Amino acid sequence: MTMLLVFVSTGRLLLTLSVGAFDLVGKFALYYVHERLWDRIAWGKRPPAPPRQRPLRLLGDRA
């Protein structure tokens, strides 16, 4: 949509492609930063369960 608006308003293809590329990279970067920051918030997260311990099996033991 951004590229369409730039092309309709300017009619310049190179400018349109430049703005479109910048828009795409910028949105990916903002999304990445947003997700990294949101992951630091502990709202509604449960602490991880401790690992289960299995009984030690010796040679000759049968299951």
pTM of the model: 0.61
**What would the pLDDT profile of 3-61 be if each residue is shown by its tens digit?**
999 999 999 999 999 999 999 999 999 999 999 999 999 888 888 888 888 877 777 76
Tokens at 50, concatenated: 């401790």
Report the alpha-carbon distance of residue 52 to residue 50 in Å, rounded. 6
Tokens at 54, concatenated: 């299995």
What is the model's pLDDT at position 19?
Answer: 98
What is the model's pLDDT at position 63?
Answer: 58
Is residue 62 scored above 80 in pLDDT?
Answer: no
What is the model's pLDDT at position 55?
Answer: 77
What is the model's pLDDT at position 26?
Answer: 98
